[in-house]
């Protein structure tokens, strides 16, 4: 008999109400669970001892909460909803459209379903089997299909109307899993021949933005409100802390919490008058919300600490060598059939096998085509590395990526001008936040904090904070830049 069970609760589109989450956490706490995790497909994960599992199961069924034990039969519907409003979004896709789509799923999908805004790069586009991506035409979506256990990706011939997504997804799933159809044409004929859908021709491929992972931690302002991103280095969130989060959400009338594919939590709609209460909760549980940006750009597998430990091992090397990782994201794969999202993929494999026993593991490094994490094509960078040599080779890859970007950018911005007598370049100082990279420039001041232009850094109030993530003034770093005449 197993000593522990892994319990998974799907949070469709990564959305959960504070009341529902509070109920779940209270039941888990009664079953002697003290920490939980969030999965890469926006689920709630917990480990439960077998002696407590039967009591927890009884409570979950009594509250009509659907769950899975040690299985992945029903992968969650994931979405870019968590980034709506707080990060870049499209022209027409809003929170209401996500809810409209979710309401259509009156069944539990056995295929991975992704719902994505085409103008964001915070959540993956093609990690699902059915990948719906908002088109430029309002209320119509691209569909990219990836049959199970393949790396083949093909575009559905038509754009799908918002109100037909759930019904079409169910029809495609029945054809793929029930009838075993994998061929593009046969699948399309089987689905459209049995029932009709509101569509329009898809005349071109989807246009996706260049990948750039936004800084998703700490307090950040948008409009007249703030959002709070919560990340844990070991991926474990204490139930005591999350219960306080739920209670404060209910008290301040925040109706939803958003789980991200980066195993973090985003809370939107925090009013200015409630900031102190949120700071109190963070302080009470000793929650740090100012990790370096390169630490946030990693995705590891669910249900294991091995990938997290390897990530932290590499990050210590990156910190020591001040490695620049901007524009990259990393995935760690320690199990053969798992899937992680990243432009750089670290894969563990056994060097030797003795029957089913793996001996002397090594690591291979792959990178995607053009370092785009949404590409399905991986290219080998280094093979057969021992753990000791892995950080240095990843550092080398980062330097290669940065050199390539500099070369491409140089070709883009190079402008030929007539030679004139040049005056000496002048140097000036700016001050940059090490967490979110926001810059304070004395020449411009900080209008958001009512700091007029021309205010020197040493004249800023003692309690001045970064206008984006609220890092204290003392943490901003001075940088010298040249002004080219």
Residues 6+ apart with CB under 8 A from 99: none
Which part of the chain is CATH 2.20.28.10? Answer: 426-483
> Higher-confidence residue: 104 or 424?
104
* Contact (Cβ atoms closer than 8 angstroms) between residue 228 and residue 289: yes
CATH of domain 295-412: 3.30.413
Tell me what the mean pLDDT of segment 36-45 comes to. 97
Tell me what the mean pLDDT of segment 158-179 comes to. 97
Which part of the chain is CATH 3.30.413.10? Answer: 88-201
Dump pLDDT digits (tens) for 310-341: 999 999 999 999 999 999 999 999 998 888 99
* Contact (Cβ atoms closer than 8 angstroms) between residue 471 and residue 290: yes
Per-residue model confidence (pLDDT) at position 410: 57
Helix axes 18-30, 239-251, angle to 10 degrees: 150
Q: Which CATH number fits domain 218-290: 1.20.1730.10, 3.40.30.10, 3.90.480.10, 3.40.50.300?
A: 3.90.480.10
Average per-residue pLDDT in the chain?
90
* Contact (Cβ atoms closer than 8 angstroms) between residue 484 and residue 425: yes
How many C-beta atoms surround the C-beta of residue 163 within 10 A? 14
- Distances 44 to 68, 130, 323, 381 between C-alpha atoms, Å: 11, 22, 32, 34
418 pLDDT band, cuts 50/70/90, is very low
> Higher-confidence residue: 104 or 477?
104
pLDDT of 423 strictly over 80: no
The secondary structure element, H or E, covering residue 19 is: helix 18-30
Give the lowest-confidence range in 45-54, 194-203, 449-458. Answer: 449-458
How many C-beta atoms surround the C-beta of residue 269 within 10 A? 19
Residues 6+ apart with CB under 8 A from 271: 225, 226, 252
Strands 158-161 and 199-201, sheet pairing: antiparallel
Per-residue model confidence (pLDDT) at position 28: 97
pLDDT of 419 strictly over 60: no
Which part of the chain is CATH 3.90.480.10? Answer: 218-290
1 pLDDT band, cuts 50/70/90, is very low
Per-residue model confidence (pLDDT) at position 414: 42
Q: Which of 29, 166, 157, 174 is nearest to 101 (CA)?
A: 166
CA distance 129 to 156: 12
Dump pLDDT digits (tens) for 404-414: 888 776 544 44
% of the chain at pLDDT higher than 70: 94
Give the lowest-confidence range in 30-44, 173-187, 360-374, 448-462. Answer: 448-462
**Residue 405: half-sphere exposure toward Cβ, Cα within 13 Å:** 16
Dump pLDDT digits (tens) for 444-472: 888 778 888 889 888 898 888 887 777 88
CATH of domain 88-201: 3.30.413.10
Q: Which of 121, 14, 145 is nearest to 342 (CA)?
A: 121
* Contact (Cβ atoms closer than 8 angstroms) between residue 373 and residue 329: yes
pLDDT of 217 strictly over 90: yes
How many C-beta atoms surround the C-beta of residue 395 within 10 A? 19
**Residue 338: half-sphere exposure toward Cβ, Cα within 13 Å:** 24
Measured in degrees and rounded to the nearest 5, phi and psi for residue 34 equal -115, -20
pLDDT of 362 strictly over 50: yes
Residues 6+ apart with CB under 8 A from 404: none
* Contact (Cβ atoms closer than 8 angstroms) between residue 270 and residue 282: no
Domain boundaries 426-483, CATH class: mainly beta
Give the lowest-confidence range in 78-87, 263-272, 304-313, 405-414. Answer: 405-414
Look up the pTM and report it. 0.85
């Amino acid at each position: 008999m197993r000593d522990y069970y892994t319990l998974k609760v799907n949070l469709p589109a990564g959305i959960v109400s504070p009341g529902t989450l509070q109920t779940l956490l209270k039941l888990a706490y009664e079953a002697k669970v003290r920490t939980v995790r969030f999965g890469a497909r926006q689920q709630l994960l917990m480990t439960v001892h077998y002696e407590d599992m039967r009591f927890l199961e009884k409570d979950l069924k009594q509250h009509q909460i659907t769950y899975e034990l040690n299985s992945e039969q029903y992968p969650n519907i994931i979405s870019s909803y968590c980034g709506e409003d707080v990060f870049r979004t499209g022209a027409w896709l809003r929170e209401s459209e996500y809810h409209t789509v979710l309401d259509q799923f009156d069944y539990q999908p056995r295929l991975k379903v992704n719902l994505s805004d085409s103008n964001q790069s915070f959540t993956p586009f093609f990690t699902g089997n059915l990948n719906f991506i908002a088109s430029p035409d309002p209320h119509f979506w691209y569909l990219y299909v990836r049959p199970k256990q393949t790396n083949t990706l093909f575009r559905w011939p038509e754009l799908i109307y918002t109100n037909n997504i759930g019904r079409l997804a169910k029809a495609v799933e029945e054809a793929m899993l029930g009838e075993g159809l994998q061929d593009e044409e046969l699948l399309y004929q089987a689905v459209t021949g049995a029932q009709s859908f509101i569509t329009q021709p898809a005349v071109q491929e989807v246009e996706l933005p260049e990948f750039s992972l936004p800084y998703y931690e700490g307090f950040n302002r948008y409009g007249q409100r703030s959002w709070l991103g919560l990340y844990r280095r070991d991926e474990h969130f204490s139930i005591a802390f999350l219960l306080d989060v739920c209670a404060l959400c209910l008290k301040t009338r925040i109706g939803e919490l958003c789980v991200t594919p980066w195993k973090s939590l985003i809370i939107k709609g925090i009013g200015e008058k409630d900031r102190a209460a949120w700071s109190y909760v963070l302080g009470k549980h000793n929650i740090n919300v100012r990790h370096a940006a390169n630490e946030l750009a990693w995705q590891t597998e669910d249900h294991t600490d091995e990938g997290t430990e390897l990530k932290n091992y590499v990050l210590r090397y990156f910190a020591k060598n001040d490695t620049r990782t901007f524009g990259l994201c990393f995935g760690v794969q320690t199990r053969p059939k798992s899937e992680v999202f990243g432009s750089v993929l670290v894969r563990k494999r056994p060097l030797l096998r003795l029957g089913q026993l793996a001996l002397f593991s090594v690591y291979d490094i792959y990178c995607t085509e053009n370092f785009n994490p949404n590409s399905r094509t991986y290219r080998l960078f280094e093979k057969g590395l021992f753990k000791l040599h892995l950080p240095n080779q990843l550092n080398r890859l980062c330097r290669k990526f940065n050199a390539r970007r500099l070369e491409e950018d140089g070709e883009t911005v190079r402008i030929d001008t007539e030679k004139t007598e040049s005056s000496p370049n002048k140097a000036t100082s700016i001050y940059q936040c090490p967490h979110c990279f926001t810059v304070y420039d004395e020449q411009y001041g900080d209008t958001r904090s009512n700091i007029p232009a021309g205010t020197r850094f040493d004249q800023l109030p003692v309690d001045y904070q970064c206008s984006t993530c609220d890092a204290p003034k003392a943490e901003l770093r001075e940088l010298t830049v040249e002004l080219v005449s």
